[in-house]
Amino acid sequence: MVKTSFRLGEVKFKNRVLVASGTFGYGDDLKDLIDINKLGGIVTKSLSLKRRGGNPPPRIVETPCGMLNSIGLANIGVQEFILKKLPYLRTFETVIVANIAASSVEEYCEVLSMLESAEGVDAYEINVSCPNVKEGGLSFGASCSMTGKITMELRRLTKKPLIVKLTPNVTHISEFARVVEDSGADAISVINTVVGMSVDVRTRKPKLSTVSGGLSGAAIKPIALAKVYECAQVVGIPIIGIGGIMTTEDALEFLIVGATAIQVGTANYIDPSTGVKIVEGMRKFCDQENIDDVGTLVGTLESNKEISVIHSWL
């Protein structure tokens, strides 16, 4: 029997495969299509203090091996989540990670506090790729100090695992990883979507109502892997790898470069059972390779350190 589980603080995940925020709804829509209990965890759609209707259409456009989205964090709001979704979600035998979005530090705190008083949330993932209203809408996630501040404030409010989800749209993501670790986070999720855009040349309009949006899917996997690897060189806390994971092999790449676990995102849209298949695929791989604990794969990249300078000549 291959060991698949891992722990984050007090919380035990039955395996290293979670589903990413925004790509699995609140779990209820997919219950008939897949066996949710087989997943290591579910990360909810980002929850904001108030219900958000989201951006005007079009919100989605396909790109080569990827897609752009500009959903505008449409979500039912934390209150309705607690009342309508959480009780059902809790019935699954999997870890429930509530993902939180907000436009001020106070709001992050408020949402987390509300979830703390409700029962059933096992851990938190903080989406810092949100506009900081006080700074004219600049993304929290693009500022090391703001990202650290949010982490520190939220840390005070909960003993549950606190995961901070980093944006790839920064020069040195490892600086953010370090600050987040120093501020008390239990783990980091790497990465959120990459900024991108697309244009309709006939109408000369952007294909997303908001002009730019977030790129996800297979196209970004190489970028995500490099970001996870960069973070793994500097932090000791676990990293959850995200970005373009479509297959077991993709997932294994993330473990090898240093991710303790992974999240399946866009792939859920194409095949909602991707996560479950990867759980099974990892087990098979370990069987074949005589590995008795998936965890022993983590961070085992064999590289010739002499020539492996990240910012070297390309």
Where does this chain touch a copy of itself (CB under 8 A) — which range of 3-11, 88-96, 146-154, 166-174? 166-174
Q: Is 300 left (phi over 0), alpha (psi -120 to 50) or beta?
A: alpha
Amino acid at 17: V
In the bound state with ligand FMN, the residue whose beta carbon lies nearer, of 132 and 266, is: 266
Sign of CA dihedral 18, 27, 46, 219: positive
Q: Which of residues 122-181 bind ligand FMN (CB under 6 A)?
A: 127, 165
- 39/29 Cα distance (integer angstroms): 15
Does 70 participate in binding ligand FMN (rule CB under 6 A)? no
Q: Which of 2, 28, 30, 72 binds a copy of itself (CB under 8 A)?
A: 72
Q: Active-site residue 144, yes or no?
A: no
- Residues 202-221 interacting with a copy of itself (rule: CB under 8 A): 203-206, 209-215, 218-221
Residue 99 binding ligand FMN, by CB under 6 A: yes
Q: How remote is the C-alpha of 199 from its chain's centroid?
A: 27
For residue 277, state whether it binds ligand FMN (rule: CB under 6 A): no
**Residue-wise over 149-166: b if at least 16 C-beta within 10 A, else e?**
bbbbbbeebbebbbbbbb
Q: Are 199 and 61 in contact (CB under 8 A)?
A: no
Nearer to other proteins, 71 or 242 (CB): 71
For ligand FMN, the closer CB: 247 or 291: 247
Residue 99 interacts, among other proteins, ligand FMN, a copy of itself, none and using kind-specific CB cut-offs from 5 to 8 Å, with: ligand FMN
Secondary structure percentages of the chain, helix, strand, coil, to 5: 35, 20, 40
Which of 206, 238, 244, 272 is the binder for ligand FMN (CB under 6 A)?
A: 244
Nearer to a copy of itself by Cβ, of 94 and 129: the residue is 129
Nearest approach in angstroms of CB 26 to a copy of itself is 19
Which residue's CB is nearer to other proteins, number 112 or number 246? 246
| Size of the residue set binding a copy of itself (CB under 8 A) | 74
Which residues, 6+ apart, have CB-to-CB distance to 234 below 8 Å? 174, 177, 178
* Coil, strand or helix at 1: coil
State yes or no: residue 242 binds ligand FMN (CB under 6 A). yes
Q: Is 171 in the site for a copy of itself (CB under 8 A)?
A: yes
CA dihedral 9, 291, 296, 176 (to 10 degrees): -90
Residues that bind other proteins (CB under 8 A): 22-25, 29-30, 32-33, 45, 53-54, 56-62, 64-67, 69, 71, 74, 217-219, 246, 266, 268-273
> Which is the catalytic residue, given 65, 109, 130, 286?
130
Pairing of strands 66-69, 212-216: antiparallel
Indicate the burial class of 267 (C-beta count within 10 angstroms; 0-12, 13-18, 19 or more): buried
What is the separation, in whole angstroms, between the first and last Cα of the chain? 43
Q: How far apart are CA 53 and CA 37, in angstroms?
A: 30
Active site residues: 130
Residues that bind ligand FMN (CB under 6 A): 20-23, 45-46, 69, 71, 73, 99, 127, 165, 192-193, 216-217, 220, 242-245, 265-267
